[in-house]
Amino acid sequence: METGKSSKLLLEKIVSGGQTGADRAALDWALAHGVACGGWCPQGRRAEDGPIDARYPLTETPSADYVQRTEWNVRDADATVIFSLAPSLSGGSRLTRELALRLGKPCLHLHPGVDAPALLVDFLRRHRVKVLNVAGPRASHEPDVYRYAQQVLDATGITGGQAAPSLPGERSNAGGDAA
């Protein structure tokens, strides 16, 4: 199956919660490839490695709880992709899938052993995704998930499209100040 290299796949925006691992991989990938990015993060810009760097244009939720930011990113995106190295989900990644199902949002779990780039391209086209939520395990649980997520995104041919409108309460990319 074609992975999208020959025909560009436009995404308006990638959102994530900014946690280490898959979340951070998606934000770094978007920043490096000219795809708008953002999303919700816990109050205090909380992540396992300390406060999330201001270069990531994330908006803090009213709560420091990870569940609220997870739900809000699922809610505000057209669809969610979950990257993991394990074939089954646990913890916050499993919660992300459950929230997507509960909210009626398309959700795709990608892991080694499947043709991830082709599956992602097909998923994005089939669901006409413009704003993609990216989730997955934190680095302390799956240290190599960052590299895996970036490799899959690189292989898709995704490019930045028209800028998506900001999420309610979200700062623009300009400045990147930490609230």
Domain membership of residue 59 (yes or no) is yes
Residue 133: which of 177, 74, 178, 83 has the closest Cα?
74
Domain membership of residue 130 (yes or no) is yes
Q: Indicate the average pLDDT of the chain.
A: 89
Domain membership of residue 70 (yes or no) is yes
Domain membership of residue 179 (yes or no) is no
pLDDT at residue 176 tops 80: no
Residue 69 CA to its chain's centroid (Å)? 12
Look at the chain and report how many structural domains it folds into: 1
pLDDT at residue 153 tops 80: yes
Residue predicted with more confidence, 103 or 166? 103
Contacts of 78 (CB under 8 A, 6+ apart): 105, 106, 127, 128, 129, 130, 131, 132
Which pLDDT score, from 0 to 100, does residue 97 have? 98
Q: How many CA atoms lie within 13 A of 89 on its CB side?
A: 18
- What CATH number corresponds to the domain at position 83? 3.40.50.450
160: confidence class by pLDDT, cuts 50, 70, 90 = confident
Domain membership of residue 49 (yes or no) is yes
pTM above 0.75, yes or no: yes
- Domain holding 99, by residue range, is 9-160
pLDDT at residue 65 tops 50: yes
Which pLDDT score, from 0 to 100, does residue 61 have? 98
pLDDT at residue 166 tops 80: no
Q: Which residue shows structure tokens 């609220």?
A: 68
